[in-house]
Every structure is written in structure tokens, then in C-alpha cells.
């Protein structure tokens, strides 16, 4: 993600599009999540990744909003094909809680049904980097 163009549109730089690197604008409604790392001289990619993950909101059953919508999209993206896709409605209900607990158990972290830094890390990166 290169920049936010407006409240509902982002601009990306994408590679390997017909052997070209291209700028594209996309509606945020098609994007599950994005980050713009602060590139600097040197440093470890894990440093900024951890900072991003730590700044994400802690979510719990009953929460609503865009962050829950993103959570549901990430859970669907990680589904094993046997699982029924979650309805992406922005509401942290019992189905979302069950899937969060499954991911937490699978990665051997406390299966409390809440989404904090460790769970976000697993959902985004596939491993706990926090």
C-alpha cells in the first residue's frame, strides 16, 4: 500500500502484472487490511511488524466495526476448506469467537477467544512474533 487517496480508496504499487510494476487504486471495500511500514536505514523487519501488531485493537465477543470485519476476513483466509466461511458482518459473535479459539489452540496460545497482539500476529503472519 503506497498511500490513502481518500477515505474509501487506497493506492498500491504492485509487481508482476504482465511483467510490469504498476500503480493501482482500489476501493478499501476490497481490502481486508493493509499496512504502510516506516522504512528507514537498516533495522529488522520484525521491529515494524511487531509495532503494527501491538497497535491493533484488542477485540472480544460483542465488539463491532471495521477491525472485526478485518478479523473475519483473516479467519476466512486461514480456513482449512472444511470450515464454513464466516459471514463478514463486522460483528464479533459466537461463530467468530469459535474460530478465534480454534486458531489460538492450533498455535498453542491461550484460547481465550479474544484477539490481542499474539492472535493478530498469528492471523496476519502465520506465527507469533510478539
Residue ranges covered by each domain of the chain: 1-31, 45-125
Which residues have a Cβ under 8 Å from the Cβ of 79 and sit 6 or more positions away?
A: 85, 99
Half-sphere exposure in the Cβ direction for 42 (13 Å, CA): 0
> Which tens digits make up the pLDDT trace of 51-101?
787 889 999 999 999 999 999 999 999 888 888 999 999 999 999 999 999
pLDDT reported for residue 1? 62
pLDDT reported for residue 109? 93
Fold for the domain defined by 45-125 = Muramoyl-pentapeptide Carboxypeptidase; domain 1 (1.10.101)
pLDDT reported for residue 36? 61
- Give the dihedral of Cα atoms 66, 37, 4, 12; nearest 10 deg: -110
> Which tens digits make up the pLDDT trace of 11-59?
777 776 666 777 878 787 777 666 665 655 555 555 677 778 788 999 9
For residues 7 and 80, what is the distance between their CA atoms, to the nearest angstrom? 33
For the chain, give the number of residues.
Answer: 130
Amino acid at each position: 500500500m503506497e498511500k490513502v487517496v481518500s477515505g474509501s480508496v487506497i493506492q498500491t504499487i504492485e509487481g508482476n502484472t504482465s511483467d510490469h510494476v504498476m500503480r493501482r487504486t482500489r476501493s478499501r471495500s476490497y481490502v481486508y487490511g493493509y499496512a504502510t511500514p516506516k522504512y528507514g536505514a537498516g533495522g529488522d523487519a520484525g521491529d515494524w511488524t511487531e509495532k503494527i501488531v501491538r497497535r491493533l485493537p484488542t477485540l472480544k465477543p460483542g465488539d463491532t466495526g471495521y477491525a472485526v470485519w478485518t478479523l473475519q476476513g483473516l479467519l476466512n483466509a486461514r480456513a482449512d476448506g472444511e470450515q464454513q466461511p464466516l459471514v463478514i458482518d463486522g460483528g464479533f459473535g459466537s461463530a467468530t469467537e469459535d474460530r478465534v479459539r480454534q486458531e489460538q489452540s492450533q498455535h498453542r496460545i491461550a484460547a481465550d477467544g479474544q484477539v490481542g497482539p499474539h492472535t493478530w500476529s498469528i492471523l496476519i503472519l502465520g506465527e507469533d512474533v510478539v
